[in-house]
C-alpha cells in the first residue's frame, strides 16, 4: 500500500489473518461452528474437522498469494522459529498439485535437536512436535516475493514437555482461570466458565541510521554499544519526549502500522520516548496468549520495515550507556470471558467487593513471589536497565495510588471515613466502599503499578517475549486466588457469615501485604532502605536472580498449577544461564576485537601524528622562539595521550587473560557469576579509558560512528 493511496484502516484490517470473517466465508457452517467453539473454549481442534479447516485455510491462503506454510512457534531462544513447506505435492499419477491436510495443519514435526531443550534431550527423545493453537489466528507473512501461511503452534517434546514459551503461558492461563472461577463461586458469582488474562505490551525501541549500525561491530554482534563517549547534549533537555516525530520516522511508523493492521494487530499509539531516537508503539490489549504472539510479530515487523527504510531497529534494553534504555510495559488484567474486568472497581457494592478480593490476591501473589517475577525479566540487557535510575529497580513493589492507599488504610483500621473523601462512597454494605475509577496519579518509577483497571509491570525488557512474565504473573495469581479462597472458607468454617468472612479476609490481606506496597520514588535510596528493612528480594543481576527459578518452594508452585514440570523448570534454568554466559562471552570478545583492531590503531596513528608534529616543533623551536612553557603543555598533552593508550593496551592484555579464565571455569552458574563479578567490570574499565581517548582523538581517525552521530543525525 503506498503512501499516496490512504485507505481506511477498517477496509484492510486483518486482511492477512484467517480470522472469524475469513473462517465464516471459507468453512461449511458446521465446521465453522465447531472451530469457533474450540477457540472459545481454548481447546484442541477435533481431528475430524481439521481436514475441512485445513482445506478452507489453504484456499484462502493461496488466493492471497501464499505458496508455503509453516508452523510458527516460540522456542526457548527468545525469538520465533519457522520452517517453510510448500503446498506443492506430487500426486500418485505424477501430476503436481497443491495440498494441505488436516494433519499438516494440526501437527508438525520440526527437528527438535536444533532448538534448546536445556538438558531434557539427554533424558527424552530428540523428537519434538508442533501443534496448532487455534486460539491464535493463522496469518500470512510477507517476505521476499511471496507470502507464507503461518500457523501459530505450541512446541512440545515427544513426551509432552514444553520446548517453547507458549505452552506454559497457555497452561498458566488455564490455572488462573480455574482458580478465579473457584473464588468467584465463593463470592457468589456462579456459572462462569472461563476467566481470561489480558496483556497490552507497550513496546519501546530505538531507530538509528543503518549506515552507522553497520560500522559498529558491537551493535551488530551484541545489540548494544560497548564503547562510546556521551555527546555534549544527551537527553538533559528532555525535549524529545512527546516532541514532534521526524518525518522519516513517521513514515516508518506508518508502514509498520499498515503491516500490523493487515495482520489484525491493533497498534494504537505511537510517540517519541525520553531518549533521542527512542520511540514507543502501544497496541490495544488482547488475551495474553494472543498479545504475546502479536508482540513477537510487532518486533519482527518493526525490524523488517526498519531494514527496508534504511534504519536499524535496536530492541536491546540499553543500547547506549548514559542514555535511557528501552523497556516493555506489560499491562495486565484479569476478567470474566466476554465480561467484567475483575480489576475494575466497578460501581456496585458487589463489583467493589470482587475488585477488592482480586486486588488483595494480586498483592499477596506479588509479595510472595516477587523474586520469581523479578527473575522472569532477568537478562543481560535488562541488568543494565533495572535499577539504573531510569527504569524500575530490581526490587519489586506495588504502587496503588493515593486513593486506593486511603481506601485500604481505612478498611484496615476499620474507619472508613467517607465524608472526608469525596471520591469514595459507601453504599451500605458493611464497611466496604465503592471506589471511584478516576485514578489520576501515576508513579512512573514503580515496577508494578495499578493504573485504574489493570496493573502495569514495567520491568520487562524491550527485547523480551512477554510470554514469560505473563506466565509467572498468571501462576502467582492462581496461587494467591486459591489462598484467599481458602482463608474465606476457613473463616466460614469457624462460624463467620460469608460476608463477614470475605471482609475479614480482605482486612487481613491488607495487613499481611503492607510490605509490598510502596508509593514513593522507586529510584531513591529510601526504596533501597525500605527493601532491606522489609526483607524484599533485591537481586541486582541475572545470575543472582536466576537462582530462584529452582528454589523448591517456587518449583512446587509451578508444578502444583501444572504450568511447568520440575524437569521443565530445570531446563529453562539451564538455558537461561547458558544464554547469559554466551551473551557476555560474545560481548567480551567483541569488545576485544574493537579495541584491538579499531581503537588502539586509531589512537596510535593519532599519537604518531602528534609525536612527529612535536618533533618538528622541537627542531624549529629556537627559530620560532617558542617558550619552555608552551613546550611543556604540548609535551604534557602528548604524554597524557600516550599514557592513556598504554593503559588501554595493558587493560586489554589483562582482559584477554580474564576471558581465558572464564573458559576454565567448570559450572555454568559459576561462569555466570564470574561474568557478572569480573568480566563486566573489566569491560567497563576498558570502556572508561577508551571513551576518554575518543574525546581526544582526531575525528577523522576514529573509525567508529560516535554517539553524537548515531543519536543526533537523522
Ligand atoms: P498509558 O499507560 O500510557 O496511560 P493506557 O493506560 O491507555 O496508556 O494503556 C496502556 C496500555 O495498556 C495499552 O496497550 C492498553 O491497551 C493497555 N490496557 C488498557 N486496559 C487494559 C486492561 N484492562 N488489561 C490489559 N491491558 C490494558
Ligand atoms: Mg504505560
440 or 517, which is more confident: 517
Range 10-35 average pLDDT: 93
Checking DSSP bridges between strand 107-108 and strand 128-132, what pairing results, if any?
Answer: antiparallel
Distances (CA, A) of 136 to 17, 67, 260, 380: 10, 21, 15, 30
Looking at the DSSP assignment, which residues form a beta bridge with residue 108?
A: 130
User: In angstroms, rounded to a whole number, what is the distance separating the alpha carbons of residues 373 and 330?
Assistant: 12
Please identify, by atom number, the ligand 1 atom nearest to the C-alpha of residue 344: 23
For residues 502 and 388, membership in a common domain is answered with yes
User: In angstroms, rounded to a whole number, what is the distance separating the alpha carbons of residues 695 and 685?
Assistant: 16
376 lines ligand 1 (CB under 6 A): no
Looking at the DSSP assignment, which residues form a beta bridge with residue 199?
A: 286, 332
For residues 139 and 151, membership in a common domain is answered with yes
User: 150 phi and psi, to 5 degrees?
Assistant: -105, 125
Residue 235 lies in a domain: no
- Residue 682 makes CB contacts below 8 A (sequence gap 6+) with 651, 654, 655, 658
Residue 456 lies in a domain: yes
Please identify, by atom number, the ligand 1 atom nearest to the C-alpha of residue 200: 14
Per-residue pLDDT band at 166 (split at 50, 70, 90): very high
The alpha carbon dihedral of 482, 488, 493, 499 has a sign of negative
Range 176-181 average pLDDT: 98
Distances (CA, A) of 648 to 330, 596, 662: 42, 10, 21
Residue 586 lies in a domain: yes
Q: Where are the beta strands (DSSP E) in 398-545?
A: 398-399, 424-425, 434-435, 448-450, 455-461
Residue 240 lies in a domain: no
253 or 160, which is more confident: 253
Tens-place pLDDT, residues 203-261: 999 999 999 999 999 999 999 999 999 987 766 555 555 567 888 999 999 999 999 99
For residues 492 and 607, membership in a common domain is answered with no
Distance 183 CA to ligand 2 centre (A): 29
Q: For a substitution probing ligand 1, which of 282, 333, 338, 448 has the most ligand atoms within 8 Å of its CB?
A: 282
Per-residue pLDDT band at 428 (split at 50, 70, 90): very low
For residues 144 and 16, membership in a common domain is answered with yes
Residues that place a CB less than 5 A from ion ligand 2: 329
Please identify, by atom number, the ligand 1 atom nearest to the C-alpha of residue 453: 23
Please identify, by atom number, the ligand 1 atom nearest to the C-alpha of residue 333: 24
Q: Collapsing DSSP states into helix, strand and coil, what is residue 418?
A: coil
User: In angstroms, rounded to a whole number, what is the distance separating the alpha carbons of residues 437 and 423?
Assistant: 9
Tens-place pLDDT, residues 455-484: 999 999 999 999 999 999 999 999 999 999
196 lines ligand 1 (CB under 6 A): no
From 503, 525, 547, the end of a domain falls on 525
Range 433-451 average pLDDT: 72
197 lines ligand 1 (CB under 6 A): no
For residues 590 and 494, membership in a common domain is answered with no
Question: Half-sphere exposure (CA, 13 Å, Cβ side) for 75?
Answer: 18
From 504, 525, 546, the end of a domain falls on 525
Tell whether the model's pLDDT for residue 103 goes beyond 90. Answer: no
Residue appearing with cell numbers 503491516: 259
Range 388-415 average pLDDT: 85
For residues 157 and 172, membership in a common domain is answered with no
Task: State the pLDDT at residue 127.
Answer: 72
Residue appearing with cell numbers 527504510: 309
Instruction: Render the burial of 90-107: b for 16+ CB within 10 Å, e for the rest.
Output: eeeeeeeeeebebebbbe
Task: State the pLDDT at residue 126.
Answer: 64
- Residue 93 makes CB contacts below 8 A (sequence gap 6+) with none
User: In angstroms, rounded to a whole number, what is the distance separating the alpha carbons of residues 60 and 523?
Assistant: 52
Tens-place pLDDT, residues 615-673: 998 888 889 888 888 888 899 999 999 999 999 999 999 999 999 999 999 999 999 99
200 lines ligand 1 (CB under 6 A): yes
Distance 170 CA to ligand 1 centre (A): 21
Distances (CA, A) of 591 to 132, 543, 584: 42, 21, 10
Checking DSSP bridges between strand 128-132 and strand 139-143, what pairing results, if any?
Answer: unpaired
Distance 451 CA to ligand 1 centre (A): 8
The rounded mean pLDDT for the chain is 89
Residue 287 lies in a domain: no
Residue appearing with cell numbers 559450572: 667
For residues 160 and 170, membership in a common domain is answered with no
Check: CB of residue 175 under 8 Å from CB of residue 167. no
Task: State the pLDDT at residue 426.
Answer: 41
User: In angstroms, rounded to a whole number, what is the distance separating the alpha carbons of residues 522 and 654?
Assistant: 38
Tell whether the model's pLDDT for residue 176 goes beyond 70. Answer: yes
556 or 428, which is more confident: 556
Tell whether the model's pLDDT for residue 123 goes beyond 50. Answer: no
335 lines ligand 1 (CB under 6 A): no
For residues 190 and 113, membership in a common domain is answered with no
Task: State the pLDDT at residue 659.
Answer: 97
Range 553-559 average pLDDT: 98
Nearest to 509 by CA among 345, 355, 336, 348: 355
Distance 523 CA to ligand 2 centre (A): 17
Residue 632 lies in a domain: yes
Please identify, by atom number, the ligand 1 atom nearest to the C-alpha of residue 341: 23
Per-residue pLDDT band at 121 (split at 50, 70, 90): low
Q: How many CB atoms lie within 10 A of CB 686?
A: 24
For residues 510 and 404, membership in a common domain is answered with yes
Closest ligand to C-alpha of residue 200 is: 1
Check: CB of residue 373 under 8 Å from CB of residue 469. yes
User: In angstroms, rounded to a whole number, what is the distance separating the alpha carbons of residues 190 and 187?
Assistant: 8
Residue 374 lies in a domain: yes
Task: State the pLDDT at residue 651.
Answer: 98
Per-residue pLDDT band at 705 (split at 50, 70, 90): very high
450 lines ligand 1 (CB under 6 A): no
Range 76-89 average pLDDT: 83
Residue percentage of the chain with pLDDT more than 90: 67
Tell whether the model's pLDDT for residue 435 goes beyond 70. Answer: no
390 or 310, which is more confident: 310
Instruction: Render the burial of 599-626: b for 16+ CB within 10 Å, e for the rest.
Output: bbebbeebbeebeeeeeeeeeeeeeeee
Boundaries of domain holding 620: 580-712
Closest ligand to C-alpha of residue 284 is: 1
Task: State the pLDDT at residue 391.
Answer: 79
284 lines ligand 1 (CB under 6 A): yes
Tens-place pLDDT, residues 60-70: 999 999 999 99
For residues 650 and 673, membership in a common domain is answered with yes
Q: Tell me, what CATH number does 586's domain have?
A: 1.20.120.1560
Question: Half-sphere exposure (CA, 13 Å, Cβ side) for 333?
Answer: 21
Closest ligand to C-alpha of residue 202 is: 1
Check: CB of residue 249 under 8 Å from CB of residue 207. yes
Per-residue pLDDT band at 441 (split at 50, 70, 90): low
470 lines ligand 1 (CB under 6 A): no
Range 376-380 average pLDDT: 96
> Residue 408 region, left (φ>0) first, then alpha (ψ -120 to 50), else beta?
alpha
Tell if the pTM clears 0.85, that is, is over it: yes
Tens-place pLDDT, residues 576-617: 999 999 999 999 999 999 999 999 999 999 999 999 999 998
Range 266-286 average pLDDT: 90
Range of lowest pLDDT (121-125, 161-165, 395-399)? 121-125
506 lines ligand 1 (CB under 6 A): no
Q: Tell me, what CATH number does 31's domain have?
A: 3.10.20.70
Distances (CA, A) of 395 to 400, 499, 588: 16, 35, 28
For residues 94 and 150, membership in a common domain is answered with yes
The C-alpha R_g of the chain, in whole angstroms, comes to 29
Distance 123 CA to ligand 2 centre (A): 43
Residue 476 lies in a domain: yes
283 lines ligand 1 (CB under 6 A): yes
For residues 359 and 388, membership in a common domain is answered with yes
Question: Half-sphere exposure (CA, 13 Å, Cβ side) for 624?
Answer: 11
Structurally, how many domains does the chain consist of? 3
138 or 245, which is more confident: 138
Q: Take atom 11 of ligand 1 and give the residue whose Cα is closest.
A: 200
Distance 452 CA to ligand 1 centre (A): 9
Amino acid at each position: 500500500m503506498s503512501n499516496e493511496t490512504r485507505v481506511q484502516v477498517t477496509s484492510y484490517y486483518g486482511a492477512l489473518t484467517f480470522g472469524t470473517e475469513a473462517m465464516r466465508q471459507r468453512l461449511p457452517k458446521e465446521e465453522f461452528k465447531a472451530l469457533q467453539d474450540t477457540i472459545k473454549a481454548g481447546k484442541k481442534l477435533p481431528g475430524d474437522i481439521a481436514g475441512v479447516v485445513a482445506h478452507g485455510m489453504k484456499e484462502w491462503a493461496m488466493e492471497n498469494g501464499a505458496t508455503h506454510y509453516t508452523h510458527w512457534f516460540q522456542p526457548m531462544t527468545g525469538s520465533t522459529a519457522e520452517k517453510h513447506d510448500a503446498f506443492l505435492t506430487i500426486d500418485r499419477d505424477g501430476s503436481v498439485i497443491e495440498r494441505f491436510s488436516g494433519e499438516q495443519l494440526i501437527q508438525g514435526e520440526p527437528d527438535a535437536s536444533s532448538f534448546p531443550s536445556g538438558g531434557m534431550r539427554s533424558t527424552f527423545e530428540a523428537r519434538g512436535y508442533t501443534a496448532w493453537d487455534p486460539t491464535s489466528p493463522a496469518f500470512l507473512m510477507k517476505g521476499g516475493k511471496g507470502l507464507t501461511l503461518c500457523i501459530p503452534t505450541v512446541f512440545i517434546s515427544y513426551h509432552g514437555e514444553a520446548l517453547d514459551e507458549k505452552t506454559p503461558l497457555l497452561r498458566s492461563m488455564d490455572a488462573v482461570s480455574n482458580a478465579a472461577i473457584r473464588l468467584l463461586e465463593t463470592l457468589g458469582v456462579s456459572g462462569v466458565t472461563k476467566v481470561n488474562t489480558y496483556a497490552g505490551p507497550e513496546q519501546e525501541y530505538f531507530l538509528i541510521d543503518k549506515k552507522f549500525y553497520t560500522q559498529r561491530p558491537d551493535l551488530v554482534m551484541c545489540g548494544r554499544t560497548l564503547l562510546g563517549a556521551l555527546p555534549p547534549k544527551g537527553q538533559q533537555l528532555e525535549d524529545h519526549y512527546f516532541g514532534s516525530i521526524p518525518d522519516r520516522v513517521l513514515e516508518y511508523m506508518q508502514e509498520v502500522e499498515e503491516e500490523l493492521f493487515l495482520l489484525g494487530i491493533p497498534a494504537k499509539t505511537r510517540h517519541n520516548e525520553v531518549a533521542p531516537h527512542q520511540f514507543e508503539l502501544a497496541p490495544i490489549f488482547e488475551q495474553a496468549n494472543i498479545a504475546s504472539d502479536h508482540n513477537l510479530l510487532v518486533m519482527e515487523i518493526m525490524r523488517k520495515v526498519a531494514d527496508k527504510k534504511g534504519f536499524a531497529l535496536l530492541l536491546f534494553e540499553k543500547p547506549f550507556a548514559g542514555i535511557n534504555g528501552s523497556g516493555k510495559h506489560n499491562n495486565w488484567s484479569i476478567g470474566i470471558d466476554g465480561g467484567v474486568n475483575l480489576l475494575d472497581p466497578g460501581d456496585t457494592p458487589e463489583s467493589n467487593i470482587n475488585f477488592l478480593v482480586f486486588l488483595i490476591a494480586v498483592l499477596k501473589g506479588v509479595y510472595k513471589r516477587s523474586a520469581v517475577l523479578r527473575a522472569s525479566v532477568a537478562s543481560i540487557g535488562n541488568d543494565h536497565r533495572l535499577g539504573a535510575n531510569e527504569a524500575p529497580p530490581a526490587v519489586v513493589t506495588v504502587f496503588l495510588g493515593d486513593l486506593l492507599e486511603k481506601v485500604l488504610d481505612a478498611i484496615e483500621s476499620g474507619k472508613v471515613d467517607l465524608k472526608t473523601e469525596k471520591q469514595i462512597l459507601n453504599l451500605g454494605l458493611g464497611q466496604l466502599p465503592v471506589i471511584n475509577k478516576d485514578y489520576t496519579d501515576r508513579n512512573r518509577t514503580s515496577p508494578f503499578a495499578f493504573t485504574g483497571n489493570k496493573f502495569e509491570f514495567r520491568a520487562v525488557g524491550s527485547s523480551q517475549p512477554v510470554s514469560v512474565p505473563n506466565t509467572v504473573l498468571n501462576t502467582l495469581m492462581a496461587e494467591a486466588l486459591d489462598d484467599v479462597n481458602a482463608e474465606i472458607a476457613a473463616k466460614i468454617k469457624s462460624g463467620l457469615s460469608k460476608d463477614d468472612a470475605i471482609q475479614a479476609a480482605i482486612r487481613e490481606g491488607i495487613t499481611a501485604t503492607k510490605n509490598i506496597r510502596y508509593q514513593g520514588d522507586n529510584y531513591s535510596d529510601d526504596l533501597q532502605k525500605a527493601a532491606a528493612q522489609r526483607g524484599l528480594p533485591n537481586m541486582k543481576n541475572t545470575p543472582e536472580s536466576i537462582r530462584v527459578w529452582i528454589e523448591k518452594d517456587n518449583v512446587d508452585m509451578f508444578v502444583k498449577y501444572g504450568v511447568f514440570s520440575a524437569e521443565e523448570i530445570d531446563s529453562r534454568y539451564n538455558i537461561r544461564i547458558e544464554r547469559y554466559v554466551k551473551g557476555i562471552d560474545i560481548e567480551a570478545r567483541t569488545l576485544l576485537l574493537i579495541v584491538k583492531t579499531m581503537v588502539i590503531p586509531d589512537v596510535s596513528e593519532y599519537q604518531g601524528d602528534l609525536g612527529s608534529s612535536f618533533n618538528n616543533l622541537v627542531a624549529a623551536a629556537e627559530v620560532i622562539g617558542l617558550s619552555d612553557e608552551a613546550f611543556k603543555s604540548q609535551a604534557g598533552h602528548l604524554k597524557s595521550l600516550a599514557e592513556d593508550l598504554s593503559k588501554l593496551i595493558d587493560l586489554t592484555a589483562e582482559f584477554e587473560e580474564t576471558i581465558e579464565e572464564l573458559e576454565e571455569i567448570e559450572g555454568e552458574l559459576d561462569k555466570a557469576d564470574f561474568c557478572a563479578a569480573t568480566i563486566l567490570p573489566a569491560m567497563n574499565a576498558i570502556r572508561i579509558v577508551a571513551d576518554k581517548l575518543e574525546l581526544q582523538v582526531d575525528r577523522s581517525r576514529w573509525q567508529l560512528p560516535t554517539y553524537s552521530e548515531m543519536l543526533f543525525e537523522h
